[in-house]
Amino acid sequence: MGLSDRSRSVYFDTSIYNRLLDDPEKDQIIELIGKNSLIVIPSVVNMCELLMTSDPSRKDALIRIYNEIRNDMHPLKPFVWLLKESVEAVQKGLKEWEINYPIEMGQKAESICRKIFNKKEEDIKSSFKNAREFIKNKVNKGKLPD
């Protein structure tokens, strides 16, 4: 799906999906999202948090809303992947890289969700440390890309 000049992209935290589900005017809100050409960008983190909803009927309703407003877009990759890949892209001098992950709800998604949420805090800290050191070295050499 291409983004037109009139569309605006928005990212919803998972709490917005929950709030929307509980809103008595949710159908009108969803309709307005479409009428106002809002492109709701989903994320793997949204998907994982929705999949972890313990109440099966609420989980199904949240997934329906997620699918209805995501405009058939694949979700954004998990933030740790985005951090790692953005640093690698800068290191390689790339101007673009893929930020979406083509995955649908199902067993593969649930497996990936377990891996993402079981990621140790030290792995995340290490990624941030490496990114900071890379940028610091580039700044010191005067070679920080736009």
- pLDDT reported for residue 91: 85
- pLDDT reported for residue 1: 43
Nearest CA-CA partner of 34 in 1, 75, 83, 80: 1
The pTM assigned to this predicted structure is 0.68
- What are 132's two structure tokens? 């900071």
- What are 28's two structure tokens? 């009108």
Find out whether 26 and 56 touch, Cβ atoms under 8 Å. no
- pLDDT reported for residue 119: 61
What is the rounded CA–CA span in Å between residue 91 and residue 82?
14
- pLDDT reported for residue 2: 47
- pLDDT reported for residue 142: 67
Element (H, E) at 8: strand 8-11
Q: Which stretches of the chain drop beneath a pLDDT of 70?
A: 1-7, 107, 117-128, 131, 142-146
- pLDDT reported for residue 65: 93
Instruction: Return all residues near 90 (Cβ < 8 A) that are at least 6 apart.
Output: 134, 145
- pLDDT reported for residue 146: 54
Q: Where are the domains of the chain?
A: 8-141
